[in-house]
């Protein structure tokens, strides 16, 4: 079996993915859909953007993967078109570990050991795992030796209602639906954040698991003050409190607190995670993201964490049903799984490109027990949200 074709889809869905109830788009960059939310430094898009890949073999087997690209999906698409795709043509898709290793070393010495390059590799890595599962007739969770679980405990990521009263009401509703917990997006300044975390804790049952994400917004002293508040309110973890490059600061924070510090969405390989995991630790919970790491690297990171008794809570950001399905498969197969991030506002639209949609019952994410990633893509539906399609063949 050989790879004979790689199709790349630049995905752009007309849906404004709101972080915290913001409907306006201030700071819009001229001629683009990219803007800045009032409280955060990173850019966002008025549309849901991503990069999908379909790998086709000479036997007719196909596999789907995704490179997360909430902005600039054209960048991983270009890497796939000009480098990764041509590399794959004629290769045996079942040699996924060899391919992943060789692709990583194509350009890592030039400073491309992370970022868009690894995102592109992650997409084809997932597609190759999908092919392997379909070839063997089993889900990726089973291909990985699982599943440890067939449904995932999940938390709703973000309260996106416009007012705090609305958010408190929504939180109660999500708990009533059966979700285990809720994660709040903070970083609005300590007075506002303190008011928010107190109000949401008061609005739900004491048993409800609560988490907080600062989106890398605070200084060390601010993060410690906020974390002390979260500890008193029995929050379970504080995510991304400091700048993503601040390894030393996160180490100091971990040593200063009882509250777990969660980190991972900006990291992509076991080499990047290693310094955060080895003593002195800079995280208490690891959050690898399959659509940035790929399945191979996510599993490596999970094994590294298991060896250090660190739980894994897989990250899920802006992505399609392909990325979600792949994430759920991996989460089902790792022994040190803690809880799964769930993007409630994205799932309905994410399912529109799937002919076999993902399911959520009673707040639990149901892991498909079908071959590969467990879902099939509706190509007609995908065409309606594809800005550009690129094909790589051996011709």
For the chain, list residues with pLDDT below 70.
17-25
Shortest CA distance to 244 belongs to which of 211, 287, 279? 287
The reported pLDDT for the residue numbered 13 is: 87
**Would you list the DSSP string of 288-311?**
--HHHHHHHHHHHHHHHHHHTT--
At residue 17, the pLDDT reads 65
In whole angstroms, give the CA distance from residue 112 to residue 340: 29
Euclidean distance between CA atoms 368 and 141, whole angstroms:
9
φ, ψ of residue 336 to 5 degrees: the values are -100, 30
H or E element: which one contains 270?
Answer: helix 270-277
Beta-bridge partners for 262: 239, 285
Task: Determine the pLDDT at residue 19.
Answer: 60
Per-residue pLDDT, 47: 85
Domains and CATH numbers, the chain: 3-138+377-393 (3.30.390.10), 142-366 (3.20.20.120)
Express each pLDDT in 197-239 by its tens digit: 999 999 999 999 999 999 999 999 999 999 999 999 999 999 9
Contact (CB, 8 A) for 19 and 44 = yes
Tell me what pLDDT residue 393 has. 97
10 Cβ neighbours under 8 A, 6+ residues apart: 49, 51, 73, 74, 77, 386, 387, 388, 389, 390
Which helix (H) or strand (E) segment is 27 a member of? none
């Amino acid at each position: 079996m050989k790879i004979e074709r790689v199709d790349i889809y630049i995905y752009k869905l007309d849906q404004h993915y709101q972080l915290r109830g913001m409907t306006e788009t201030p700071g819009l960059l001229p001629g683009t859909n990219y803007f800045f939310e009032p409280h955060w430094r990173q850019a966002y898009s008025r549309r849901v953007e991503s990069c999908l890949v379909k790998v086709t073999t000479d036997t007719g087997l196909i596999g789907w993967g995704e490179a997360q690209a909430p902005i600039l999906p054209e960048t991983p698409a270009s890497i796939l078109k000009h480098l990764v795709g041509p590399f794959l043509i004629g290769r045996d898709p079942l040699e996924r570990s060899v391919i992943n290793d060789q692709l990583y070393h194509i350009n890592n010495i030039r400073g491309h050991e992370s970022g868009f390059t690894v995102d592109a590799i992650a997409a084809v890595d997932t597609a190759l795992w999908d092919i392997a599962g379909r070839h063997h007739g089993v889900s990726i969770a089973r291909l990985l030796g699982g599943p440890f679980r067939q449904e995932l405990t999940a938390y709703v990521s973000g309260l996106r209602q416009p007012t705090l009263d609305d958010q408190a009401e929504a939180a109660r509703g999500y708990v009533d639906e059966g979700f285990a917990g809720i994660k709040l997006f903070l970083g609005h300044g300590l007075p506002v954040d303190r008011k928010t975390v107190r109000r949401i804790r008061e609005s739900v049952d004491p048993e409800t698991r609560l988490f907080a994400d600062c989106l890398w917004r605070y200084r060390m002293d601010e993060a410690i003050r906020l974390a002390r508040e979260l500890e008193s309110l029995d929050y379970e973890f504080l995510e991304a409190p400091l700048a993503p490059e601040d390894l030393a600061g996160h180490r100091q924070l971990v040593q200063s607190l009882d509250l777990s510090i969660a980190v991972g969405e900006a990291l992509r390989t076991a080499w990047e995670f290693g310094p955060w995991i080895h003593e002195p630790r800079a995280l208490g919970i690891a959050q690898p993201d399959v659509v940035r790491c790929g399945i191979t690297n996510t599993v490596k990171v999970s094994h590294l964490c298991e060896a250090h008794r660190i739980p894994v809570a897989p990250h899920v950001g802006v992505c399609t049903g392909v990325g979600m399905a792949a994430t759920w498969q991996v989460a089902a197969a790792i022994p040190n799984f803690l809880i799964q991030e769930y993007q409630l506002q994205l799932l309905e639209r994410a399912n529109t490109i799937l002919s076999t949609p993902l399911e959520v019952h009673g707040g639990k994410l149901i892991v498909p027990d079908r071959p590969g990633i467990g879902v099939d893509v509706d190509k007609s539906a995908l065409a309606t949200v594809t800005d550009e399609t690129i094909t790589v063949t051996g011709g």
